[in-house]
Amino acid sequence: MTGLLGQPRVHLATLPTPLQPAPRLSAEAGVEIWLKRDDLTGLGLGGNKVRGLEFLVADALARRCDHLVTGGGPGSNWAMLAALAARVHGLGATLVCYGDRVPAVGNTALAALVGTTVRFTGDPDRTSVDTGVETVAQELRVLGRHPYVLGRGGATPVGALGYVHASVELAGQLAAVGVGPRGIWLATGSCGTQAGLHAGAHWQGLGPVTGVTVSRPVAECVERVTALSAKAAERIGVPPPATPPTVLGGHLGPGYGHRSAEGEAAAALVARTEGVFLDPVFAAKAMAGLLAAAARGDVTGPLVFLVSGGAPTLFTTPPLVS
């Protein structure tokens, strides 16, 4: 089917996701916060990656690909959802994970459940996934297959369209409740989600989008979001954002994929006040960044916080390291 943006799109997500006021959290934070519940997107256990996959899988089908190849960490929400989306639409799927083979638990087990091939690079460097993905793709081509190759996180201009589309959805929800946001906050990893929101928020007049980086250096995130948002806007024929994206550092904690003390505290506060669980790798750290900014008096409400999902990592993420 063709989506609202005039781009090919398959059906994966249950939309619109709820936009919920968070009055008890707001009282604790000292700033009005609304939660955009993209942990409830419907495919598998939900999560933000489902939106981009609607456009990416459609692109794969339009190109007559028969196998999706991507990767990430052994517990990657992106990788599992990409594999699940591929299988639902009749594509084969291979995931490449960095490091040594680990027991199939969490997202790895869920990917395997639907018949996904999971390979490990044997190298702890996350960038080893990129080489591994290309190796698998070439092996498939030799066999006469037609792979659709995606990097970590699915951060492409096509994938970013998922959150350009989400911005239109969000604008309608905010108008319905009479809220004019002063900003949108989220976790930024591979940068595709923030890029889509950055482009869409500019187009829809939703205010600045602040990403709290949970993996890459701030400068790299700014560069990636800028490029991806401009290309996504170009694809649908709207003006690119006129201002650079905002990316906030300082909340990574011990490192990518590990819990942080302030993230744990932020997640506990959100659960206690609003009954919403934030994953420890992404959303918890982003909420920690928002709460710290509110405590400094750097932000005013109302603000929208993207609850990006990632439920399986609540049970499999490594404990805090010192």
- Output the pLDDT for position 103: 79
pLDDT digits (tens, 9 = 90+) for 244-256: 999 999 999 998 8
Helix (H, G, I), strand (E, B) or coil at 152: helix
DSSP 83: H
Q: What percent of the chain has pLDDT over 90?
A: 88
Q: Tell which CATH classification among 3.40.50.1100, 3.40.50.150, 3.40.50.300, 1.10.287.3510 matches the domain 19-48+156-316.
A: 3.40.50.1100
Q: What is the dihedral of CA 219, 224, 230, 232, to 10 degrees?
A: -150
Question: CB of 49 within 8 A of CB of 81?
Answer: yes
> Can you state the percent helix, strand and coil of the chain, rounding each to 5?
45, 15, 40
Report how far Cα 62 is from the mean position of its chain's Cα atoms: 23
Alpha carbons 33 and 182: distance in angstroms, whole number? 10
Per the prediction, the chain carries an average pLDDT of 95
Question: CB of 296 within 8 A of CB of 275?
Answer: no
What is the number of other CB atoms lying within 10 angstroms of the CB of residue 242? 6
Alpha carbons 39 and 28: distance in angstroms, whole number? 22
Across the range 173-195, mean pLDDT stands at 97
Alpha carbons 11 and 103: distance in angstroms, whole number? 32
Question: CB of 299 within 8 A of CB of 183?
Answer: yes
Across the range 282-293, mean pLDDT stands at 98
In which band, very low, low, confident or very high, does the pLDDT at 322 lie, cut at 50, 70 and 90? very low
23-27, 238-242, 272-276, 291-295 — which is least confidently predicted?
Answer: 238-242
- Overall pTM surpassing 0.85 (yes/no): yes
Question: CB of 241 within 8 A of CB of 199?
Answer: yes
Computed from CA positions of residues 200, 203, 208, 213, in that sequence, does the dihedral angle turn out positive or negative? positive
In which band, very low, low, confident or very high, does the pLDDT at 191 lie, cut at 50, 70 and 90? very high
- Output the pLDDT for position 3: 59
pLDDT digits (tens, 9 = 90+) for 71-104: 998 889 999 999 999 999 999 999 999 998 887 7
Across the range 26-32, mean pLDDT stands at 98
In degrees rounded to 5, what are phi and psi of residue 144? 85, 10
User: Within the chain, which residue ranges are assigned CATH 3.40.50.1100?
Assistant: 19-48+156-316, 49-154
pLDDT digits (tens, 9 = 90+) for 206-238: 989 999 999 999 999 999 999 999 999 999 999
pLDDT digits (tens, 9 = 90+) for 149-170: 999 899 999 999 999 999 999 9
What is the CATH number that goes with domain 49-154? 3.40.50.1100
**Does pLDDT of 122 surpass 60?**
yes
Give the closest residue to 208 by CA, choosing from 186, 190, 227.
186
Across the range 112-123, mean pLDDT stands at 94
Give the closest residue to 93 by CA, choosing from 75, 108, 111.
111
Strand 67-72 to 92-97 pairing: parallel
**Does pLDDT of 321 surpass 60?**
no
Alpha carbons 164 and 238: distance in angstroms, whole number? 11
Q: Which two tokens stand for residue 286?
A: 């982003």
DSSP string of 294-318?
A: HHHT---S-EEEEE-B-TTHHHHSP
Across the range 27-37, mean pLDDT stands at 98
**Does pLDDT of 4 surpass 80?**
no
